[in-house]
Chains A and B, each alone.
Chain A
Amino acid sequence: MKNNHNITLNNINKSYQKGNNTVVVHDNFNLTIESGEFVALMGPSGLGKSTLLHLMGGLDQPTQGEVIIGTQRIDNLKQAQLTQWRAENIGFVFQSHHLLPVLSAQGNVELPLALTPLNKKQRQEHASYALELVGMSERANHYPKELSGGQEQRVAIARAIVSDPHILLCDEPTGNLDRKTADEILALLTQLNRDFGKTIVMVTHDKKAADYASRVINLETYIFEPKNIEVGERL
């Protein structure tokens, strides 16, 4: 059964103060991303791609407008409610993986599960499964410094999916990787979208990376390029 986890941005205005000037990032911006889509947000720096991602993930609030995920309006939630909502619904993948150096791959992936009522054994099982999905089972006990850039990003993806969120928000996930490794990561994201129905929103500068998406939104020209959407089952 397909759940409604559509991402809806209604009449979004986002501006911030820089000295005495008000910088307008988005003015009356509207966008809907349906459950199960793999969307690439493209465009040059400074157009507010990451800002949109942060608004969708509840890391930032719009100056005006509504951010609705599924049936839940999130732009007016309190911080404590937002963090809880985020823990249950959103997985983040960053350009810099932001793995904790003192934890092994397994430990890093288990971290979000500390927010759940799972016991230690269950947390280990979930984390092992997530690492298996991203092809990192063999490296479960390795620390980030012992992993390559691509492997670190795979672990970061495992961390993002371990608590089975509906939505993955990826901010330049292949920005620091070579072409071959980037393609492997993008193939992995495509697999998560296709086989497990994850809604993926990916910010990228890379046209080739955007080709993996089912829809590309170019913020510079604001051109939407729809593709066919196939929705798989969740984890």
Chain B
Amino acid sequence: MNTSLKTGHSLLTNMRQAKALTVINFKSFPQRFVASMVSILSIACVAAVILSVLAMTEGMMKTLQRTGLDNTVLVMRAGATSELQSVMFPVEVNILANNQKIIKNNEGVAQVSAEMFVNAEVAYISNVGGIKQATTTVSLALRGTSNATQKFRPNFRLVEGDMFATGVRQLIIGQAVARKMPALRVGKVITLGGAQWKISGIFSDGNSVFESELWADIGMVQSDYRRGNTIQSIRLALKDINDLPTLEKEWQEDPRLNIRVQTEKKFFADQASSLTRLIRWLGFPIAIVMALGAMVAALNTMYAAIASRSKEIATHKAIGFSPLAISTSILCEALLIAFVGGLLGILPLYFAFDGWTAATQNASNLSQMMFNFDITFLLIIKTMSLALFIGLLGGLLPAIKAMRLPVTEALRD
């Protein structure tokens, strides 16, 4: 045997040693799988909660970000933070529409959409599988629209049925509403504010927040909800969006107007941030507490693993494995536990809920907003990174302990 058996303690050598020990740890991992289950399940729970929060905020953000056009100006009453709080009059619509900076068609008609927005109590009898269920009541956003409205929603499509007829109690519902409440289908009669309305169609709008709404003729909504000829918001198409600051100044100085002006994009972006902030404030503290618990579980598991293997670790040291390699292999095992836990948290959630339509109460307009659970690859990576970070922290102290394990005592025990 003339081959050199000289060792070394370079980083590369340490890593090679760590690899050999890690392979052994992984081979014996099935024996410790049950003992490791507490930390695996804890990490799985944390991963599931974190991923849910992230997927919810991501889904909500996407829904709200898809809503609103850059060159569309949304005008509401000064002080109103939502369409629901706003009230405006036809005279104001005329003043705004007459401005030269607004796009006009060949006939000189300004591209303006005056809209009503009502938080409607919708009652319907759910009828699933031919069996009549109890009456369901839910708060939904009812928008009174006119022909011009669709010009501000370029992604608007009727996916089923027909457009509502004017002057009668007909409405179309967004496909997110139809998905969430399967009983609401074309031809179904529902109760809104005590009156019977017929669903004439289902529309899509590029997965925007409008898909969580019911749309009807503005005149019928004003009449049924006794709003006279008032409206709540005005959408205007600007020739050049850069004119907005000038226009805003001009309107602010006009004594006939008392309005709030902003781009529609910004309005929904603000709603998105306030909604997602709420979820984060509720979700992340829970997740952090759970993460601490999972870390302690991982810590405990790894300490127990080291205690049960103290002789094995001491033997490795006696053979000549470096303390660094031994502690690295312990860390790798902690990471394996975290990885298994992360997968157990992520995969069921992904297969069960990705794309699932959830609903939340939108605090700004008091009605339900539907959005899809959006579990993207990036969110999975983020969640798995967090799981691995928990494993790393949980494995760190035990790894240091293994590094310092006195060989003579361990061998003597």
The residues of A with any CB-CB pair to B shorter than 8 Å are: 50-51, 54, 57, 59-60, 79-81, 83-84, 86-88, 90, 92, 94, 96, 98, 100-103, 111-118, 122, 126, 129, 159, 163-164, 171, 235
* B9 and A84 contact, CB distance less than 8 A: yes
Contact (Cβ within 8 A) A115 B17: yes
B20: interface (CB < 8 Å): yes
In the bound complex, do residue B28 and residue A80 qualify as a contact, i.e. CB atoms below 8 Å apart? no
Q: Are B317 and A83 interface neighbours, CB within 8 A?
A: yes
Contact B320 A164 (CB under 8 A): no
Residues from chain A with a CB closer than 8 A to the CB of B315 are: 92, 94, 98
Q: Give chain B nearest CB distance to A108 CB in angstroms.
A: 10
Given A59-B318, A129-B1: A100 in contact with B9 (beta carbons within 8 A):
no
Q: Are B28 and A101 in contact, with the CB atoms below 8 A?
A: yes
* Chain A residues in 8 Å Cβ range of B408: 50-51, 54, 59-60
Contact of A86 among B4, B6, B311, B320 (CB under 8 A): B320
Contacting pair B1 A116 (CB below 8 A): no
- Shortest CB-to-CB span from B408 to chain A, Å, is 5
B-side contacts of A101, CB under 8 Å:
28
B407 adjacent to chain A (CB < 8 Å): yes
Contact A83–B323 (Cβ < 8 Å) = yes
Asked if A112 contacts B27 (CB within 8 A), the reply is no
Q: In the complex, are the beta carbons of B9 and A81 less than 8 A apart?
A: yes
Assess the A83–B27 pair: CB atoms within 8 A: no
Chain A residue at minimal CB-CB distance from B323: A79
- 13 A/B residue pairs, CB under 8 Å, sorted by A: A59-B318, A79-B323, A80-B322, A84-B7, A86-B320, A92-B319, A102-B24, A103-B27, A115-B319, A117-B8, A118-B5, A126-B1, A164-B5
Q: Is the CB of A163 within 8 A of B5?
A: yes
How does the 8 Å CB contact mask read for B1-43 relative to A, with 1 for contact and 0 for none? 1011111110001001101100010011001000000000000
Q: Tell me which residues across on chain A come within 8 A of B411, comparing CB atoms.
A: 59, 94, 98, 171
Q: Decide: A117 near B17, CB < 8 A? Known: A79-B323, A102-B24, A103-B24.
A: no
Complex contact A115–B24 (CB within 8 A): no
Q: Point out the residues of chain A lying under 8 angstroms from B407, CB to CB.
A: 54, 59-60
Shortest beta-carbon distance from B198 to chain A in Å: 71
Contacts of B9 in A (CB 8 A): 80-81, 83-84
Cβ-defined partner of A88 (8 Å) among B1, B17, B320: B320
| 3 residue pairs, one from A and one from B, having the closest CB atoms | A87-B320, A114-B20, A98-B315
Q: Verify B17–A114 contact, CB threshold 8 A.
A: yes
Q: In the assembled complex, which residues on chain B have CB atoms less than 8 Å from the CB atom of A79?
A: 323
Within 8 A of A (CB), among B304-332: 311-312, 315, 317-324
Residues of A within 8 A of B24 (CB): 100, 102-103, 111
Query: How many angstroms from the CA of A170 to the CA of B27 in the assembled complex?
Result: 28
Write the chain B residue with the least CB distance to A159: B319
Chain B count of residues within 8 A CB distance of the other chain: 32
Q: Given A84-B7, A114-B17, A98–B312 Cβ distance below 8 Å?
A: yes
By a CB distance below 8 angstroms, the chain A residues around B5 are: 88, 113, 116, 118, 163-164
| A92 with B17: CB separation less than 8 A | no
Which residue of B4, B317, B320 contacts A117 across the interface (Cβ within 8 Å)?
B4
Q: Are B7 and A115 in contact (CB under 8 A)?
A: yes
- Measured CB to CB, the closest approach of chain B to A210, in angstroms, equals 21
Please report whether the interface of chain B is mostly helix, strand, loop or mixed according to DSSP.
helix
B132 at the interface (CB under 8 A from A): no
CB distance from B323 to the nearest CB of A (A): 6
CB distance from B73 to the nearest CB of A (A): 69
Q: How far is the CB of B3 from chain A (nearest CB, A)?
A: 6
Smallest beta-carbon distance A72→chain B, Å: 14
CB of B256 closer than 8 Å to a CB of A: no
B226 in contact (CB, < 8 A): no
Least Cβ distance of B116 to chain A in Å? 72
Contacts of A102 in B (CB 8 A): 24, 27-28, 31
Q: How far is the CA of A126 from the CA of B7 in the complex (A)?
A: 15
- Name the B residues within 8 Å of A57 (CB-CB): 318
How far in angstroms is the closest Cβ of chain B from A95?
9
Starting from the known contacts A84-B8, A94-B411, 5 additional A-B residue pairs (CB-CB under 8 Å) come to: A92-B319, A102-B27, A112-B320, A117-B6, A163-B5
Minimum CB distance partner of A92 in chain B: B318
Q: Is the CB of A111 within 8 A of B1?
A: no
B249 proximity list for chain A (CB < 8 A): none
Whether the pair B319, A112 counts as a contact (CB closer than 8 A) is: yes
Contact B1 A83 (CB under 8 A): no
In the assembled complex, which residues on chain B have CB atoms less than 8 Å from the CB atom of A118?
3, 5
Q: Given the interface contacts A101-B28, A102-B27, does A116 sit within 8 Å of B7 by beta carbon?
A: yes
A103 to B319, CA, bound (A): 16
Given A98-B312, A118-B3, verify A84-B318 contact (CB < 8 Å). no
Chain A residues near B16 (CB, 8 Å)? 114
Q: Which residues of A contact B8 (CB under 8 A)?
A: 84, 117
Please tell me which one of the listed residues A51, A54, A111 contacts residue B20 in the complex, with CB atoms under 8 A apart: A111
Residues of chain B lying within 8 A (CB to CB) of residue A114: 16-17, 19-20, 321
Chain A: minimal CB distance from B119 (Å): 64
| A50, A94, A102, most chain B CB atoms within 10 A | A102
What residue of chain A has the Cβ atom nearest to residue B18's Cβ? A114
Complex-state Cα separation, A87 to B318, whole angstroms: 8
A126 and B323 alpha carbons, distance in the complex (Å):
25
Please report the C-alpha to C-alpha distance between residue A92 and residue B316 in the assembled complex, in whole angstroms: 11
CB distance from A111 to the nearest CB of B (A): 7
Supposing A98-B315, A112-B319, A116-B7 touch, asked if A80 and B20 sit within 8 A by C-beta, the answer is no
Distance between Cα atoms of A54 and B27 in the complex (Å): 30
